[in-house]
């Protein structure tokens, strides 16, 4: 263990190294739910003997390599690249030949504690309020007067790993009318953000008030007082006075820019290994952008226990879908609706998406120009499997 910690300090640290060194003490000091335990355990064991793997040997020089299995947990920063690329490949056929807007709907931080005890409920309310707001504005003849195409992605973190609940929305610049015509948005404008904010706030607070009144939320600790109707009314009134944040960026230039954006915001964990700087027996240091100072790059040092506490805040409930599609992209009749939109735009039909799934070997060859079967020592021979390694419950360091 000491050797691994020293290696992490001297070389490039990874989240898995931090969990291996500090995870046991963190679990003993904090009460975690099952999905948080599962995520930490998966990250700790990812690509180690605990998950089993293969022993490969070069057929030219005899070099031997142990290749261990990935955990495939969606919170592991090392296991998302292949899933992201496959997801993007499926999305390419759904892009329409129009500009796209990027909008962000954010919840006030006063709701953070309530979300910690009720993540599934609060995240679902956030999705519902944001999507219903966008769909209603799209259907309003004042703005478009048809059905929009929107993809929403949940993020729960800020750059410092603090809790920052928001959804990123990718919306096509236009809508399909009931008559089958494409209605283009005004140039450089989709919806008024101040009006979006008011409607979004109203929808979310209506759902939150109903859930509180019906006792559908778990209330404990700092939120226990909300079991009283008077406290509920006070909270809702205070939140109603705030100006909720809805942000809209300029439209993307074209489909390539849209895919580049999607690659940055989908399939992300709360922190990537690239942002980690170092860690030791007490502290973890990582890079972040300070948007209050023009997105300056800075380094933040946190106690290891606090670092892990912030990380597990962003572990999603089991089975919760953090990427959702609405309007023309909703699963029901999606293919027919997109075909109607393309016909209205005079665009050719989308390419077929029934191609066979790309293998891991082919994927890394295409993305990183890495041949996983080529021997890294002699660069001539092929690494061939000579033994299958069973998982070890207690692997040696």
Q: Tens of pLDDT along 271-315?
A: 999 999 999 999 999 999 998 888 899 999 999 999 999 999 999
> Looking up tokens 């973890």, which residue turns up?
284
**Per-residue model confidence as pLDDT tens digits over 308-355:** 999 999 999 999 999 999 999 998 889 999 999 999 999 887 665 555
- pLDDT at position 360 is 67
Q: Which of 74-83, 122-131, 209-218 has the lowest mean pLDDT?
A: 74-83
Highest mean pLDDT among 81-90, 91-100, 229-238, 362-371: 229-238
pTM for the model: 0.90
- pLDDT at position 113 is 96
Contact assessment for residue 45 and residue 79, using Cβ atoms and an 8 Å cutoff? no
- pLDDT at position 350 is 66
Contact assessment for residue 128 and residue 207, using Cβ atoms and an 8 Å cutoff? yes
**Count of CB atoms situated within 10 Å of the CB of 222:** 12
Contact assessment for residue 391 and residue 50, using Cβ atoms and an 8 Å cutoff? yes
- pLDDT at position 40 is 97
Contact assessment for residue 284 and residue 276, using Cβ atoms and an 8 Å cutoff? yes
DSSP string, 242-294: S---EEEPPPPSSHHHHHHHHHHHSS--SS-GGGEEEE-SSEEEEEEEEGGGT
**Per-residue model confidence as pLDDT tens digits over 101-124:** 999 999 999 999 999 999 999 999
173: tokens are 């610049």
**Count of CB atoms situated within 10 Å of the CB of 274:** 10
Contact assessment for residue 106 and residue 162, using Cβ atoms and an 8 Å cutoff? no
d(CA 250, CA 54): 49
362: tokens are 């082919």
d(CA 123, CA 111): 11
d(CA 379, CA 177): 58
- pLDDT at position 259 is 75
Per-domain residue ranges of the chain? 83-270+318-345
d(CA 61, CA 78): 30
Highest mean pLDDT among 264-268, 291-295, 385-389: 385-389
175 phi, psi to nearest 5 deg: -155, 155
d(CA 211, CA 321): 21
327: tokens are 């309007």
183: tokens are 């209605």
Contact assessment for residue 341 and residue 22, using Cβ atoms and an 8 Å cutoff? no
234 phi, psi to nearest 5 deg: -65, -45
Mean residue pLDDT of the chain comes to 90
């Amino acid at each position: 263990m000491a050797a691994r910690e020293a290696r992490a300090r001297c070389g490039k640290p990874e989240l898995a190294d931090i969990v291996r060194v500090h995870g046991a003490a963190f679990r003993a000091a904090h009460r975690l739910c099952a999905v948080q335990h599962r995520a930490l355990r998966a990250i700790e064991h990812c690509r180690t003997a605990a998950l089993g793997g293969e022993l490969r040997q070069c057929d030219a020089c005899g070099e031997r390599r142990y290749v261990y299995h990935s955990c495939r947990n969606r919170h592991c920063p090392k296991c998302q690249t292949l899933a992201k690329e496959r997801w993007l490949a499926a999305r390419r056929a759904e892009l329409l030949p129009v500009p796209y807007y990027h909008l962000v709907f954010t919840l006030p931080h006063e709701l953070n504690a309530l979300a910690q005890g009720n993540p599934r409920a609060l995240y679902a309310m956030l999705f519902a309020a944001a999507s219903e707001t966008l769909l209603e504005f799209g259907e309003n003849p004042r703005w478009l007067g048809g059905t929009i195409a929107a993809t929403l992605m949940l993020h729960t973190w800020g750059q410092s790993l603090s809790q920052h609940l928001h959804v990123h929305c990718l919306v096509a610049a236009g809508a399909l009318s009931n008559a089958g015509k494409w209605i283009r948005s005004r140039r450089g404008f989709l919806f008024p953000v101040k009006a979006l904010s008011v409607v979004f706030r109203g929808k979310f607070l209506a759902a939150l008030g109903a859930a509180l009144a019906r006792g559908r939320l778990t209330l404990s600790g700092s939120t226990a007082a909300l079991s009283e109707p008077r406290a509920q009314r006070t909270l809702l009134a205070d939140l109603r006075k705030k100006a909720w944040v809805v942000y809209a960026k300029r439209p993307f230039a074209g489909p390539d820019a849209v895919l580049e954006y999607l690659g940055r915001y989908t399939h992300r964990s709360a922190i990537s290994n690239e942002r980690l700087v170092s860690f030791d027996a007490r502290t973890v240091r990582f890079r972040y952008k300070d948007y209050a100072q023009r997105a300056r790059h800075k380094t933040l040092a946190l106690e290891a226990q606090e670092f892990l506490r912030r990380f597990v805040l962003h572990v999603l409930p089991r089975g919760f879908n953090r990427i959702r599609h609405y309007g023309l992209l909703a699963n029901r009749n999606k293919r027919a609706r997109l075909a109607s939109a393309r016909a209205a735009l005079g665009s050719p039909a989308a390419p077929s998406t029934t191609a066979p799934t790309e293998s891991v070997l082919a994927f890394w060859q295409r993305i990183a120009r890495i041949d996983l079967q080529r021997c890294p020592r002699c660069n001539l021979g092929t690494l061939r499997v000579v033994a299958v390694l069973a998982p070890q419950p207690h692997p040696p360091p």
